[in-house]
């Protein structure tokens, strides 16, 4: 099968999973799916289905502002074969910047990838993450708790990405419509 050249980059925290450090777990009523590196983790609804779709139809990369140990530990416990990823980029692969309130942020600079950006899309819960490439990002609302049982953003994304694939330049679609899943 010819491999698609389209690259789908996925943020981890609050995009694919919600994680709470053990220190803060008191008072949270929902059971976690698993514990990894002292974090109680819940997988976003439809994660398995979404990853199955993504890994067949896209080249998939993970780009997180967290550490590699944290990210790989969680992905493995999600039963995702991390060898199938094009790359796993972590905090050191981000560019440091500052938010409007001057708090530090980690920017995912897509120009460092050496890819054709007309065929690259990043899914993230934070617009700031790709502030240099706002035409390449789809913002989905943060998944922060297992209480969000009705969340179906990952399911909706499958349909959206299938449509997106038909366009010549992803940036023409994503321009100014980053928050379509809000
Ligand atoms: Mg995130």
Q: What is the reported pTM?
A: 0.93
Distance 42 CA to ligand 1 centre (A): 14
Q: What is the pLDDT of residues 58-99, one digit of tens each?
A: 999 999 999 999 999 999 999 999 999 999 999 999 999 888
Within a domain: 49: yes
Region class of 132: left (phi > 0), else alpha (psi between -120 and 50), else beta? alpha
Distance 13 CA to ligand 1 centre (A): 4
Within a domain: 2: no
Distance 25 CA to ligand 1 centre (A): 19
Whichever domain contains 36, its CATH number is: 3.40.50.1000
Contact 158, 138 (CB under 8 A): no
| Euclidean distance between CA atoms 19 and 157, whole angstroms | 21
Distance 144 CA to ligand 1 centre (A): 10
Among 10-14, 21-25, 32-36, 159-163, where is mean pLDDT lowest? Answer: 21-25
Q: What is the pLDDT of residues 139-171, one digit of tens each?
A: 999 999 999 999 999 999 999 999 999 999 999
**What pLDDT does 90 receive?**
97
Cα 150 to the center of its chain, rounded Å: 19
Within a domain: 180: no
Within a domain: 114: yes
Distance 70 CA to ligand 1 centre (A): 13
Distance 94 CA to ligand 1 centre (A): 13
């Amino acid at each position: 099968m010819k491999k698609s050249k389209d690259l789908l980059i996925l943020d981890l925290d609050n995009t694919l999973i919600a994680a709470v450090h053990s220190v803060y777990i008191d008072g949270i009523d929902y059971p976690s799916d698993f514990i990894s590196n002292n974090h109680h983790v819940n997988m976003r609804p439809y994660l398995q289905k979404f990853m199955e779709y993504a890994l067949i139809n896209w080249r998939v990369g993970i780009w997180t502002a967290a550490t590699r140990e944290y990210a790989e530990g969680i992905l493995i416990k999600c039963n995702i074969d991390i060898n199938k990823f094009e790359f796993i980029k972590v905090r050191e692969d981000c560019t440091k910047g500052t938010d409007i309130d001057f708090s530090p942020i980690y920017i995912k600079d897509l120009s460092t990838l050496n890819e054709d950006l007309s065929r690259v899309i990043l899914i993230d819960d934070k617009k700031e993450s790709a502030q240099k490439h706002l035409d390449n990002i789809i913002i989905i609302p943060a998944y922060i708790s297992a209480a969000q049982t009705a969340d179906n953003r990952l399911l909706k994304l499958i349909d959206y990405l299938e449509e997106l694939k038909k366009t010549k330049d992803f940036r023409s679609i994503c321009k100014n419509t980053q928050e379509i899943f809000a």
